[in-house]
Structure 1
Amino acid sequence: MRQSSAQFTIEGIVIEPHVLDIDMPAHSSEEASFAVTNVGTGDVKILSVSVLPQAAYSEIKTDIDVSQVAETLSSQESRQLSLTFQVGDFVGEAQFTLTVTFDTVPPGNDPDGYEATASVKLICQPAEPILEIQPSAIDVGIMPGFSVDTAITLVNTGYIGLTSLSLTDPVLPWIQLIRSSQTSLAREESTTAIVRINPPDQIETGVYSDYIIISHDQGQAILPITVEVTELAVADLAFHVLNDMGFTLSDAEIVLWLQESKYAESVGDSIVERSQNLTGVGDENGQVMFDAILAGTYTYEVSAPYHDGLIGTIVVEPGVSQDKDISLQFRPLRAVARTGFIEPSLAP
């Protein structure tokens, strides 16, 4: 048998990342680094490096640093280049193409050489702070004479810092704000405050509304507070179970375990005992209902055939009916031989 072999020459430059999105504020600069790699089998000569906008962006200037890029790259050699964007008064998206023109050594058939490109998209936001409040509203149920604390987190998700941060006191005398001493937030910085709700024993039951005004140097926001004062130490809890494709799971099963409750002495022993461990199965609409369970903190476990399970924690407020949406990830069926027949398996 006669064998023959042939050698092939592969030429090419690769730029990584090939696609890059940059989020940045207006009136700022951002530097991006790229690796230029000769993935071919022979040497290549770098002819030019350029960056061109896909539209006219007079407010955006670019600067390329190719000082680390050798004129000739040997096979598998990689060098770094940097590209700096200086953005003025521009808000929106801007597209650029980074191009490296090269030729083989010795030169190839194309007199203009060959090109490798990368795409860069700038997403320019206003240069201002953005105050995000978590949660965006406080809505609790509570019995007279009890106390509950709710933590609120303030996060600056904008591109510059904010100053003069202040929070007003609630109007109702039995709602207390425990402030942080922080009055400024840098970009991505956060602070926390506590809202303590403690209605007196003699208060009338009903729904009470209040608010906190949160101000800073660029504006203000309102955090609404709704409190349902009730004599009921129990509440209804409903789960709605879907999968990640949006289909309801009528065969879902949920198990609840009571972790702790400050209201156990306000109800009979039968309710406390029943609430320790509960199991519910979904109806045709994927609803799993738990009626008149003791208010407190529960751990729940959700399962359904051919889906990944889910474990979580939920707080049940006194006298406040709650709805909880659950999404389970579908696991495709896989045939597995067992005792002479084929059955579906949940294993990946």
Structure 2
Amino acid sequence: MHRVVGERSIAGPSEADTARTLLAELIRARVFDDRALALQRRGWMSGYPPFRGQEASQVGAARAMAADDWLFPTYRANALQLARGVPATDLLRFRRGHPEFHSNHDLPVFPQAVPIATQLPHAVGVGMAADYRDADHAVLAYLGDGATSEGDFHEAMNVAGVFDAPVLFFCENNGWAISTPRERQTAAPSIAAKAEAYGFEGRQVDGNDPLAVRAVVADALDRVTSEGPLLVESLTYRQGPHTTSDDPDRYRDEPALPDWRTRDPIDRFAEFCLDEGVVDERFRDRAREGAERAVDRAVAAAEAVPAPDPSDVFEFAYGTLPPRLASQREAVRDRHGGE
């Protein structure tokens, strides 16, 4: 088990291009998150899980994935999905009650998992299928530190270890499982150490350093295709609430964590890129202006889609709807004007 902390120097034009791309993606993710939060506060959507402070972890992981690697996201993985190529309009429409993949994109991305850890056994199944078919793509299963207290986590880790499934469990440890700190989640020295119980390796990475995350995740994905599963614990910090219905001031004091983990990852990486001479003083402003225009277009496109029929919630669950649910569906339709 090891941890990568601190940015490295940038050597050569290729690494400089990578750093600029990462910084632009971090800024785009922050703009999206800020706008989504503001939209929720004015009733545009019912709820939203902010990810401010976790952008570097997610963007770095996304930029390490090969084109055909599968992503299994959760409700807080919007930055990862954006950097992976999922349209911002899809993420916004989903929050307004529409099907998640409204754009019908063909990216290897599973739907967001809102129940905690339920995506992990599915990810292992897809990894095992890839192994059986001799495919060379990997699976990245995203989870939070709170998910490691769920039975699905342990079952998925165990099966992955037994069957050498090419799955990377990417645990984003943001310090809190809603109001529960990590030290109340486990007596283990780290989440990465949990991998040892299932027969494979666990690693830690500075989740506020996108270059380090990209390097560690890229190496891990390469290894899982030939050597079996691996767990990466990305150490970052959740700057805001768990969701828009949460008040972190009720349970959170100033964090007893090092500066590298709690400092704003965009400020930190922008300063690094300036020091390395790969961006100028205006780069951040230009990237933000471009991201604002893109989010404006995404919001307008989401608003242009007619509101979903509330009775649709009863569809696609049963071949024949049971009488009790059929009567509930009719009541909903009556309430909403027979739509």
Bin the TM-score by the shorter chain.
under 0.3
In proportion to residue count, which structure has more strand?
1
TM-score by length of 2: 0.21
Q: Which has the higher helix share?
A: 2
Greater RCO, CA 8 A, separation 6+: 2
